[in-house]
Each structure stands twice: as C-alpha cells, then as structure tokens.
C-alpha cells in the first residue's frame, strides 16, 4: 500500500503507471510550471504535500487547458486524451478509492463515469471541429430529424453532441445559425423527454451570456463591419430562441436580454424604425416584457427587415410591473409610474433642495440636481455656449458622498423673480381662487399664495381641481411686499412646459370658449389654450362650447399655440376645463403626496432600509446599462444638436452612476466632439486634437468624427486644403464626401459669391446635425421611396415577370411597364421607378442589365423602342429617363407627363387611380376625352426625378423623393351659345367623379334600372343607360340587388344606407334634389346585397389601418341627403380605400372584422394579417 501511495503522489511515476507518452509527460511539466488558470486547478501544493487529491485538481487543470486552446483543436484533443486516460484509471483501479475516507470511496467511480461520458461527447465535438465536418454533421442530423419515418439512434447522445458543439462552433452565430435553430426546435418540441426544455434554454443562454458583452461594446464604440453585423444577427436569433424556450418552459424572460434583443435590431436595421426604439423604451419603463412576437419558423427563415417590421408593429401591449424599483450607486435611479428619475441621493432633506435639470421623452426621464439651471437646456443655442458648465456642476453632485444638508440658521426673503420650491398647504373653500403655500428651500423662507390667474391663461374660477394639498411645485416669486403674504406664479413655467410637450402637426380636441372678431380662443382637452383665426372654411354655426378636432400649426416658446379647425368632434364628447388644466399642471408638479401622507412634511419619519426593501425592487446595473444604449440610439437619430448634447451628457451621467469608467471615457470623447461642432457653428476655431490617435484606437467609431473635425479645421494653406477636400470627396462614407464637397464649394466661392457661401453654410450645418449610422457595407444610403401613389409606381424589373419562378420574359413584363406608362399619361402624370420593390426599397436593375448584356444607355434604348412601337414617337419624346446609384443598386426612373389626348394601349384606355392602374369603360372614356379637350399640348419632362432628394421626419420613417409633376394650364373655355341653357358649375374642390366598387363587374344581363348622381347635386332613375355627360356616377341596378341597398361613404367618415326598393319607388326620368349630404364630399357609392361587407382603409398619423364591417351596422334611411352613421368616432386621418366584398371574400378576411366605430381597425403592416393584406391587395388590384 505504501508503494502504491508513493506512486500516486509522484506525478511522473503516476503517469508512467498509465503508460503516458513523452508528449503527455511534457504537458504535465508545462502545467506544473505555469500559474494555475483558476484556484481549483492548483495541484502542485497538494502534490508536494503528498495528497492523492492532487489528481482531481490536475484534471481541472487539463480541462481548463483544453478550453484555452480555442481554435487549436489538435492540441485540445491531446489534453483531452490524457484527461480521459486518467478518468478511465479512476474508474478501473479499485485500489485508488481505498486511499480516501470510507464515505467518499463510492463517489469516486460514479464521478469518473460521469466525467468520462462528458469527455466522450467533447472528444466527438473536437474531432468534428478539427476535421471540418461540423457543417456536414449538422446538415445530416437536421435532415434526419425532419424526415418522416426516421427515428434517431441514441438521440440522447446526439442531443448532447449538438449542445456541446453549439458552444464551441465558431460558425454558431454565422453560417450555421439556421441549422442549429432547426435542431433546437425539433428537440424542444418533438422530443422534450430526452432533455427538458430547460436544458436547451440554458444552452442558448450560455451562448448569449458569453457573447453579449463583447457585442455590446462593438455596436456602441466600433465600426459595424459585415462580420460584426453577421454575428449580431446570429446573436439576435439565438436570443429570440431563448425567449421562445422561456415561453415553453413557463419561465420569466430576462429583462436585460429582452432590451438587448430590441437594441440589436434597432442598430442593425437600416430603416431605424422609430416604433422599435419606442418599444424598447416602453419595455424599460414598464419593467416587463410581452411574449415573443414571432414563431420558430419565422426565426429559422430569418429576414431582418421582415422580422423587425413584425416586432415593431406587433399590436399586443406590454403588461406593466407597477412596483417601484431603485438603484443606488453614485446617486439614485428610481423607476416608478413609467418615469425614470436620476437624483444625487434620496435624502428627504436634500430632496427639497433639488431642481429639475432636464426632462426627456415627454417626461419619461427626469434628472434632478442641486444646481439651478441658468438657462433652458432644451432651448436652441446656435448662438450661445452649450450648457456644459451646468452639466459639469450637476455631475459633481452625483459623485459626492451621501451628506445630509442642514438648514441654514437664518434664511432670507427671496427677491422678485427667484425660482423656489413651494409646497401647497391649504385650499380654503372661502378663497377658491387661491392656493396657499410656503417656501421649502435651504436659503429662502416665506409664505404666500398663488392666484388662479398665475396658473393658466385660461379663465378659471377655482384651483380645487388644479392643485392638491401637499403638492411640491417650482414657482417664481412675483411679490414680496409682505413676507407672510408673498405672491407666486407658475405661468411662465407652464408655458415652457406647453412649448416642449406639444408640437406643430399634432391633433387635439378643443372646446371653443371665446369667439371674437379676429380670433377664436379654445381650451384643449390636454389643458392648454389655443387660438384660431376666422376662415371661410370654418363651420358657419360655430358657437361657444362647441368641440372640434384642431391641428396645431405653430407652438411659440412662450406657450401660445395656433391651430386650424379640422372636423367636428363625435357627438356627446365633453371637455371639463378645470380638469383638463389640472391634468396639465399635474404633469409639471414636482411631487404629489399620497392621501395618507398629507400630514406636515417635516414630521414624517424617514423610511428605513427595511421598509424600502418591502415595497420596492432593485434595479440591476446591467438594466441601467441598457438605458445608456437606448439613449445612444436616440442620440444617433435626432437632428437637434442641443438635444444630442444633452442625451450624451445623460448617458455619461448614467455611466458615472453605475461606475463604468469605459463608458464615461467614451462619452467624454463624444461630448468633446459635439462641443467642437458647436464651435464651428458659431464661427469659432475647431480643435482637431480633442480626438487623438489613442481615442480612435480605443473607440474606432470616432474615426469619422475626427475626420469631420479635420475638414472643418482646414484654414491654413488654401492650395493644400483644396487638395485635401478633393481627396475626401471620394470617401466611402457619404457624410464625409458630402461635407468635403460643400466645404470645397464654400472655399472656391469665398467672398466673391456671398449668396453661395450662405447657402453652403446652411447645408453644412444641416449635414452636421445628422450623424447617420453606418450601413453594413459602410456606404449605403438609407433609402425608402415611400408607397405607391397616384403619381408613383414601383417595378422590380423589366425582365422577370412576378410569379414566374424567375423565368425571364421581357415581352410579358414590358406589357406591365407600358400599361403603367399609359395609366400615367391618362391621369396626372407620374414617375415609374424600376428596380424598386413593392414596399419602396431599391433592389436595383443589375439582374436586368446582366441578362440583357446592357449598360444603362442600352437599357433606356430597349424601353424606348417598346414605347415607340406601342405608344408612338410623340409620347416617347415627352418621357424622361433618369438613373441613380443607391449604394451599388441602380434605380431607373421614368418620368411621364399627363398627355393632352386619350391614350390607348392595345385598344384599352388605362388610367392611374390611387395606387393602381385600371381600364376605363366607355362612359369613362367619353368623360376623359371631354376633359382632355381643354388641355394645352403636353410638354417634355425636364425636371430630373432624383433632383430634389429630401428626408422626411423620423415620425414618418419613410424617406420619399418628392418629384415635381408638370401640370397643364387649361385652355380658356369657349363662350356659351346665346340660347344655350346655363348649367351649374362644379365647385373648385368638388371631386368630378365618385368612386364605386372595383369588384363591381358589368354583366351581360340587362339592368332593371340605372341610378345617376348629377353634377347639379340631383339624382335620377332611368330604365335605359343615360350616357349623360353631367353624371358624376351611373350605377346599374340588377335583379339580385332588388332586396339590397345603396351605400354612400363620405370623406368625413360617415356612411348612409338606402333600400333599393325606396329608389325604385321614385318617378322615372325625374331629377330629384338632395342626392347626397352637402357638408362633406361623397367618396364612394355602390349597390350591395344584404350579406355583403364594407371594406375600409384609413391613413392616420399612426399608420394605415384596415377593417371590414357588416352593412347592417349602417343605419337604414329613406333620405339620400342625410349624413348617416359614423364609421369612426375617433380621429381617423383620411379614408384612402373603400370597397364592397361579397360573402366569400369577406370570409377570407374575417380576422380584420370590426363593427365598432371606436377603433381604427388592424394596422395594415401587422404581420398577424399579412395573408389577409396580400389577399386584399391581389383582389382589389385586379389580380384575382
């Protein structure tokens, strides 16, 4: 036994007993001399002490050495071979356990057997990686799992190899991600008995945890290369699989991972959809997450734009966690009531001294400080200094130790104009117009009151619904005649709140309170005053207390808001003035105490730490790190230079609070860069040295920032500067190239052309205000052509017809192209973009050019030959071609004018109507010919299609190319003959034609009667088709409509329903008056059967929405001139499409059915109705 112990406690002797090779002996010597990778791998002290337990530590050292080999799989296998040999010895040698206490002897062989099993799996994985057989193994396993009738041999072993391979495969987040997801889905859904879902969940989470820190840093501070982008997409998909597995295992989704998931999608998506950022913010504020918005199949067949679009417009709300959460580091972060508050610390006495430094995201993020802001941080500061000093002083408050600030022994009376904190003490019933308050400040003291006139410009009678006892408010001192009866005002502060919260273009319901000769005064439902000016378009019966929907047109920084009247509010709507103003003031109030805490504030006990733990949760620092990343996303997307500076300062402050010196240093560099940009804007010297080589090496993302500063700083050598600018005009980054071009123009224009210099300076300032995030290839433009309209149509190709399996057929596809051109010629003109897909993104005409062996000149010639052959040389001479390269994707634009005559294409007259091209029937052709008689001859298009490229705002997401379509001046009308009968002229804004169902088909059977609406506002019933030139619409009445109805839909969202039997009871060939409601244009008219369904599509600020509703929802009337039933009782924007679906068609779109008027319907972009949207598109565009 002694000899055995000597062997086991001598390293070389032990290995010789195992017949170890010389190479394995050398491994032992190497590990003996090297410092241990971890404490549990330090085997030498135990070996020197003569303990046999050194063998277990040596096994740990081999394990860690195998992990450290990374991609050197051959060497890793050598370590693993020695590891397996030792474990086999522990299992086979029955003498070894006897050297341990009796209680541990049975454990040794069990442990060895388990470790051998794990090592065998690992050896299989390392062998696959060494031999390059990973992809073959995965593909074979995936095919076998998905083939019916095949049952895996030893599936447990296969699953173990799969999980281990996933964690070691360098292609797991790139080329092999899809295959791994297919296999995870199979084992998680089909064979959960082999391994529980938690096993696969832990496997995916291990990968995400290992990779996310490095990816976070890369996406924030590095240039996004194609390699980084590919790995980030793979990480998104694995994180998505984790959420699906969490749902299956009924486990809570990790909030940090969920926020990371959204952030990666925001960074990677080229469109930078605002809804995705807003979703991330909402998730953060609610401290909760909704279930996965996707399925396994969508994750496996991953397409980034489609995937992002589905998540961004997914309609399910996020449940809210209403518990308050706090974080204490260098300062305190509080998350409660969907508001994030940053403060130096939470000491009650100190809190009274705090001032609101800044609010962001409509009050969702608030920063408090002991510093009183000397200026409005949100104000434009183009001609002033950035508020850097204010931020520096505020940051100093956060790094101080927790100190209780004591009251001053003596206090002063504040001078007039001073901002102080006041607490509302009493609301006395005898004085309803006053709120009595006392100053709460370390420096000042006094009591007084705030009068109703100092709260709002709206006339109020009481403050009872405005303030609550205990409210803490920042007010301004306006009267100090008597220190015990001081006067306070929040009028200016409320005005500033209005100016920052509400913006032009927004809508609000408002009640008219005063109607003067030159202006009308309103109160908004949100509590602020508005005014409108009299207009000819306003309702004639407008009276005080009427409620209308108003659109804001101008918001002055002093809080004055101008608006215009849009439409009347739904019936029964009321606006309580005092309640509305109270809601506005409550937003401004610094602190509102609960009812059970309205005792004297000074007498309250400070809550103990134990109390805090019972009522509030704790925020993890990693959770706040995600807030920093979210702020960075908003920083990149804003065009407001001052806001961008404040956002960077906020991110830096959070980095200080969570003690992240790396992030602090990064944002220090970003802030210095913005400060230098501000110097340039204010014509001050630019210092390039603020971003040095070390900073660029540490944070590669700053490379372009330094390049921009170097261009802006060029002032010394004119000739060398011009050469430098010319060189940078060829930069691969568009922003750099554009800046160099503009600066070169300014340098060449100099003082000789001051007008040019002024224009270029404005363009440079605009360019610098937008830091466009780098696209995957480093040079892509963010392009979105918008949607198809009556003057814009998209075609992907002239070679490959749709639904033709990519089989080329130029003649067939050119029929579609010529049909579209003919449609524009017979309408208002327009632009046909070729190389753009249906959703408005450029795909390029490169496949066409390759197939046709053509360049752009030959490409144009091919299309023009078709135009000459089918439409004639005159039309060909009027059409303009333009080509533009969008990041290597060439788009062709064909600009088509409105033609002065009716144009036929293969004996059919096509016309562009809305977003589709439709054939005209004989009455419509006659009407079109009548209209074209008064048009002057068409002129050739001269304006380039890509000549006026402008970006729309972030709220619209899409970036459209506004193109000026030529309009043609009508010829002077001929004088009427002396005896001709005068006819009523159409109003300028009256639509000439009324739309009817696109699904309405003319039949061979004879109509029972015809119903016509005339331009005079009359209607007539005839037995024969009237063919009247003054008819706005003529609808045939067939036998199967005799028990049906006539449906009217107006632009204001109302609809009327009249029985066909009522119409047929009218006198034939008699012109009846009051054919329609005269207060809103009639958009749509059609005959329907009782079981038909009405289809509606509206476009609002929130996007497009679709819905269907039963015909019976519309009230049945006998009078055609009634307004009818409201289809919407909420603001709906405008109606863009109406149609009638029969019973079979309505069954196909049952999932968008909604008969209630309180909803807009289902978002048209929602992926939950993608099949329905495609069905409707094909149906209503004639592809049925």
**Domain boundaries 503-575, corresponding CATH code:** 2.40.50.140
pLDDT number for residue 608: 44
User: 413: which residues sit within 8 A by CB, 6+ positions away?
Assistant: 444, 445, 446, 480, 483, 486
Q: What share of the chain is helix, strand, coil (3-state, %, to 5)?
A: 40, 15, 40
What Å distances lie between residue 480 and 453, 843, 1105, CA to CA? 18, 70, 57
Among 117-121, 523-527, 940-944, the range scoring the smallest mean pLDDT is 940-944
Distance CA 531, CA 554 (A): 10
C-alpha to C-alpha distance for 690 and 493, rounded to whole angstroms = 37
Query: Rounded mean pLDDT of 335-356?
Result: 69
- For residue 1110, give the 3-state DSSP assignment: strand
Residue 842 CB partners (closer than 8 Å, separation 6+): 783, 785, 835, 836, 886, 889, 891
**Mean pLDDT for all residues in the chain:** 81
| DSSP count for the chain of H helices, then E strands | 38, 34
- Say if residues 1011 and 1088 touch (Cβ distance below 8 Å): no
Q: Can you tell me the mean pLDDT for 66-88?
A: 91
DSSP β-bridge partners for residue 550: 508, 565
Which residues have CB under 8 Å from 477's CB, separation 6+? Answer: 414, 415, 416, 417, 418, 419, 420, 486, 487, 488
Among residues 557, 546, 453, the alpha carbon closest in space to that of 502 is found at 557
Residues 930, 935, 938, 942, Cα dihedral to 10°: -130
Summarised one tens digit per residue, pLDDT across range 739-748 is 888 888 887 7
Indicate the burial class of 900 (C-beta count within 10 angstroms; 0-12, 13-18, 19 or more): middle
pLDDT: is 592 or 407 the higher one?
592
- The pLDDT of residue 321 is 79
388-408 burial string, b = 16+ CB within 10 Å, else e? eebbebbbebbeeeeeeeeee
DSSP E strand boundaries for 141-257: none
Q: At what angle do helices 621-637 and 255-268 cross, to 10 degrees?
A: 20
Asked if residue 137 lies in contact with residue 180, where contact means CB atoms within 8 angstroms, the answer is no
pLDDT of residue 360: 78
Q: Would you say 72 and 25 are in contact if contact means Cβ atoms under 8 Å apart?
A: no
488 with 450: CB under 8 angstroms? yes
Please give the full DSSP string across 1007-1045, using - where no structure is assigned: PSEEEEEETTS-EEEESS----TTEEEEEEE-GGGTTSE
Please state, in angstroms and rounded to a whole number, the distance separating the CA atoms of residues 801 and 793: 16
Sorting pLDDT into bands at 50, 70 and 90, what band is 857? Answer: confident
- Identify any residues that bridge with 1106 across adjacent strands, giving them in sequence order: 1097, 1162
Inter-residue contact 691 to 672 (CB < 8 Å) = yes
Closest CA to 507 of 551, 537, 458, 445: 551
Residues in the chain: 1184
- The CATH architecture annotation of domain 419-489 reads Beta Barrel (2.40)
Q: Are 833 and 785 in contact (CB under 8 A)?
A: yes
Pick the CATH number of 792-956 from 3.30.950.30, 3.40.50.261, 3.40.50.150, 3.30.390.10: 3.30.950.30
What is the pLDDT, as a whole number, of residue 1168? 58
| Predicted pLDDT of residue 75 | 92
Q: pLDDT tier at 546 (50, 70, 90 boundaries)?
A: very high
The answer on pLDDT for 246 being more than 80 is: yes
Instruction: Report how far residue 669's alpha carbon sits from residue 691's, in angstroms, rounded to the nearest whole number.
Output: 7
Contact 263, 626 (CB under 8 A): yes
Q: How confident is the model at residue 784 (pLDDT cuts 50, 70, 90)?
A: low
The span from the CA of 1027 to the CA of 1006, in Å, is 16
pLDDT for 489:
92
Cα angle 742, 743, 747 (rounded to 5 degrees) comes to 120
Per the CB < 8 A criterion, the answer to whether 243 and 283 are in contact is no
Specify the pLDDT at position 7. 82
Tell me the per-residue pLDDT of 672-717, one tens digit each, with 9 for 90 and over.
999 998 888 888 888 999 999 999 999 999 998 999 999 988 876 6
Percent of the chain with pLDDT over 70: 83
Q: Which residue has the higher pLDDT, 4 or 677?
A: 677
Q: Find out whether 963 and 949 touch, Cβ atoms under 8 Å.
A: no
Phi-psi region at 185: left, alpha or beta (left = phi > 0; alpha = psi -120 to 50):
alpha
Q: Is the pLDDT of residue 205 over 90?
A: yes
Extents of the domains making up the chain: 2-129, 133-312, 325-398+617-670, 419-489, 503-575, 683-768, 792-956, 1009-1180
In the prediction, which pLDDT does 806 show?
A: 64
Q: How confident is residue 1003, by pLDDT bands cut at 50, 70 and 90?
A: low
- The stretch 809-824 carries a mean pLDDT of 92
Segment 442-457 shows an average pLDDT of 87
> What is the four-CA torsion angle of 66, 68, 72, 73, rounded to 10 degrees?
30
First to last CA, the chain: 91
The pair of three-digit structure tokens given for residue 314, joined into one six-digit string: 């997914």
Paired strand residues for 326: 334, 618
208 has a pLDDT exceeding 80: yes
Express each pLDDT in 145-176 by its tens digit.
888 888 888 888 888 999 999 999 999 999 99
Q: pLDDT above 90 covers what percent of the chain? A: 29
Average the pLDDT over 17-30 and give the result: 91
CB 342 within 8 A of CB 368: yes
pLDDT, position 893: 93
Residues 6+ apart with CB under 8 A from 737: 728, 729, 730, 731
- Per-residue model confidence (pLDDT) at position 967: 29
Contact present, 1014 and 1028 (Cβ < 8 Å): yes
Q: Indicate whether 947 pLDDT > 70.
A: no
Q: Which residue has the tokens 């109270």?
A: 582
Q: What are phi and psi of 4, to 5 degrees?
A: -65, -45
Show the tokens assigned to 265.
């999608």
Q: What span, in angstroms and rounded, lies between the C-alpha atoms of 388 and 375? A: 11
Which pLDDT value is given to residue 273?
64
Distances (CA, A) of 841 to 720, 818, 1102: 40, 22, 21
Fold equal for 419-489 and 792-956: no
Predicted confidence at residue 975, as pLDDT, reads: 36
Three-class SS of residue 131? helix
Residue pair 1175/1148 in contact (Cβ under 8 Å)? The answer is yes
Instruction: Answer with the residue of higher pLDDT: 305 or 79.
Output: 79
879 — phi, psi (to 5°)? Answer: -90, 140
Indicate whether 795 pLDDT > 70: yes
Q: Report the pLDDT value the prediction gives residue 981, as an integer from 0 to 100.
A: 34
Distance CA 1167, CA 297 (A): 14
Q: What confidence score (pLDDT) does residue 723 get?
A: 85
Place of tokens 């063919």: 1027
Residue 1068: strand pairing partners: none
Per-residue pLDDT tens digits for 39-68: 999 999 998 888 888 999 999 999 999 989
**Rounded CA separation 709/707 (Å):** 5
């Amino acid at each position: 036994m002694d000899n055995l112990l000597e062997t086991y406690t001598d390293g070389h002797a032990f290995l010789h007993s195992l017949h170890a090779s010389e190479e394995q002996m050398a491994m032992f010597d190497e590990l003996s001399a090297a410092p241990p990778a971890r404490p549990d791998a330090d085997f030498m002290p135990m070996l020197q002490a003569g303990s046999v337990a050194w063998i277990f530590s040596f096994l740990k050292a081999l394990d860690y050495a195998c992990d450290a080999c990374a991609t050197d799989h051959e060497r890793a296998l050598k370590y693993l071979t020695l590891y397996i040999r030792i474990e086999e010895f522990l299992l086979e040698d029955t003498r070894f356990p006897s050297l341990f206490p009796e209680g541990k002897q049975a454990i040794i062989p069990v442990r060895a057997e388990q470790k051998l099993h794990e090592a065998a799996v690992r050896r299989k994985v390392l062998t696959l990686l060494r031999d390059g057989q990973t992809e073959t193994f995965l593909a074979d396993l995936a095919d076998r799992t998905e083939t019916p009738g095949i049952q895996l041999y030893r599936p447990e072993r296969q699953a173990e190899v799969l999980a281990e391979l996933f964690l070691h495969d360098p292609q797991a987040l790139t080329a092999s991600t899809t295959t791994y997801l297919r296999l995870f889905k199979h084992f998680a859904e089909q064979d959960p008995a082999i391994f529980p879902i938690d096993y696969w969940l832990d496997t995916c989470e291990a990968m995400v945890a290992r990779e996310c820190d490095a990816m976070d840093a890369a996406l924030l501070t590095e240039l996004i290369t194609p390699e980084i982008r590919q790995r980030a997409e793979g990480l998104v998909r694995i994180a998505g699989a984790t959420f699906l597995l969490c749902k299956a295992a009924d486990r809570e989704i990790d909030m940090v991972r969920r926020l990371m998931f959204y952030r990666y999608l925001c960074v990677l998506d080229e469109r930078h959809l605002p809804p995705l950022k807003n979703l991330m913010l909402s998730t953060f504020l609610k401290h909760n997450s909704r279930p996965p918005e996707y399925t396994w199949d969508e994750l496996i067949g991953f397409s980034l734009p489609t995937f992002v679009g589905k998540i961004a417009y997914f309609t399910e709300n996020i449940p809210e966690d209403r518990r308050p959460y706090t974080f204490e580091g260098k300062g305190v972060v509080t998350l409660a009531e969907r508001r994030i508050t940053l403060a130096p610390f939470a000491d009650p006495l100190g809190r009274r001294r705090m001032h609101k430094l800044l609010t962001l995201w409509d009050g969702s993020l608030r920063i408090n400080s002991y510093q009183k802001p000397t200026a409005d941080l949100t104000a434009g500061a183009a001609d002033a200094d950035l508020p850097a000093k204010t931020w520096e002083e505020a940051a100093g408050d956060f790094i101080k130790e927790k100190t209780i600030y004591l009251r001053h022994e003596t206090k002063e009376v504040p001078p007039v104009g001073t901002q102080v904190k006041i607490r509302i003490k009493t609301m006395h019933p005898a004085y309803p117009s006053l709120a009595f308050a006392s100053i709460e400040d370390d420096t000042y003291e006094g009591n007084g009151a705030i009068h109703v006139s100092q709260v709002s410009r709206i006339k109020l009678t009481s403050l009872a619904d405005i303030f609550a006892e205990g409210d803490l408010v920042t007010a301004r001192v306006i009267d100090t005649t008597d220190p015990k009866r001081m006067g306070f005002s929040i009028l200016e502060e409320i005005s500033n709140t209005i100016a920052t919260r509400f913006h032009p273009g927004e809508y609000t319901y408002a009640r008219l309170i005063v109607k003067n000769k030159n202006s009308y005064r309103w109160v908004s439902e949100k509590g602020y005053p508005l005014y409108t000016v009299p207009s000819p378009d306003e309702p004639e019966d407008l009276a005080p207390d009427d409620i209308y929907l108003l659109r804001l047109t101008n918001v002055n920084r002093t809080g004055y808001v101008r608006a215009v009247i849009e439409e009347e509010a739904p019936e029964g709507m009321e606006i309580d003035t005092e309640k509305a103003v109270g809601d506005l003031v409550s937003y401004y109030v610094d602190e509102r105490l609960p009812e059970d805490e309205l005792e004297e504030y000074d007498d309250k006990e400070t809550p103990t730490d134990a109390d805090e733990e019972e009522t509030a949760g704790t925020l993890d620092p990693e959770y706040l790190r995600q807030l920093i990343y979210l702020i960075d996303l908003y920083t990149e997307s804003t065009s407001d230079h001052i806001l961008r500076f404040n956002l960077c300062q906020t991110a830096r402050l959070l980095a200080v609070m969570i003690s992240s010196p790396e992030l602090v240093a990064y944002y220090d560099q970003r802030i210095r860069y913005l400060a230098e940009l501000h110097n340039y804007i204010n014509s001050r010297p630019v210092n390039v040295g603020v971003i040095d080589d070390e900073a660029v090496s540490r944070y590669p993302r700053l490379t372009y920032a330094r390049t921009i500063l170097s261009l802006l700083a060029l002032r010394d050598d004119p000739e060398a500067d011009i050469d430098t600018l010319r060189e940078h005009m060829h930069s691969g980054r568009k922003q750099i190239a554009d800046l160099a071009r503009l600066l070169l123009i300014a340098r060449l224009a100099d003082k000789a052309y001051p007008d040019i210099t002024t224009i270029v300076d404005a363009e440079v300032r605009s360019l610098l205000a937008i830091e466009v995030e780098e696209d995957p290839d480093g040079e892509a433009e963010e392009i979105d052509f918008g949607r198809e309209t009556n003057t814009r149509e998209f075609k992907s190709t002239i070679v490959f017809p749709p639904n033709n399996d990519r089989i080329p057929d130029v003649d067939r596809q050119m029929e579609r192209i010529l049909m579209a051109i003919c449609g524009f010629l017979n309408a208002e003109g327009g632009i046909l973009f070729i190389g753009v897909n249906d959703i408005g993104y450029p795909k390029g005409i490169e496949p066409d050019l390759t197939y046709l062996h053509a360049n752009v000149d030959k490409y144009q010639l091919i299309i023009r030959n078709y135009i000459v052959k089918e439409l004639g040389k005159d039309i060909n001479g009027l059409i303009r071609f333009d080509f533009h390269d969008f990041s290597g994707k060439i788009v062709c634009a064909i600009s088509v004018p409105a033609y002065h005559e009716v144009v036929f294409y293969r004996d059919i007259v096509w016309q562009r109507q809305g977003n589709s091209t439709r054939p005209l029937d004989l009455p419509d052709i006659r009407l079109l010919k009548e209209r074209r008689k008064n048009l002057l001859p068409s002129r050739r298009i001269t304006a380039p299609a890509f000549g006026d490229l402008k970006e729309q705002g972030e709220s619209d997401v899409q970036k459209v190319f506004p193109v000026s379509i030529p309009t043609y001046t009508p010829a002077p009308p001929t004088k009427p003959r002396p005896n001709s009968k005068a006819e009523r002229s159409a109003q300028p804004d009256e639509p000439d034609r009324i739309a009817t169902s696109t699904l309405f088909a003319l039949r061979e059977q004879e109509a029972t009667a015809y119903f016509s609406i005339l331009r005079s506002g009359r209607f007539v019933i005839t037995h024969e088709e009237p063919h009247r030139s003054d008819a706005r619409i003529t609808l045939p009445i067939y036998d199967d409509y005799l028990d049906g109805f006539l449906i009217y839909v107006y632009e204001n969202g109302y609809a009327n329903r009249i029985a066909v039997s009522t119409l047929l009871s009218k006198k034939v060939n008699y012109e009846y008056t009051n054919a329609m409601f005269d207060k809103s244009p009639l958009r749509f008219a059609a005959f329907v059967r009782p079981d038909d369904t009405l289809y509606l599509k509206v476009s609002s600020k929130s996007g497009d929405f679709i819905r269907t509703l039963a015909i019976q929802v519309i009230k049945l009337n006998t009078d055609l001139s009634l307004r009818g039933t409201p289809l919407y009782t909420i603001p709906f924007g405008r109606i863009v499409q109406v149609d009638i679906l029969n019973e079979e068609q309505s069954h196909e779109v049952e999932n968008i059915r909604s008969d209630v008027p309180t909803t807009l319907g289902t978002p048209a972009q929602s992926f939950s109705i993608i099949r329905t949207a495609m069905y409707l598109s094909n149906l209503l565009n004639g592809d049925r």
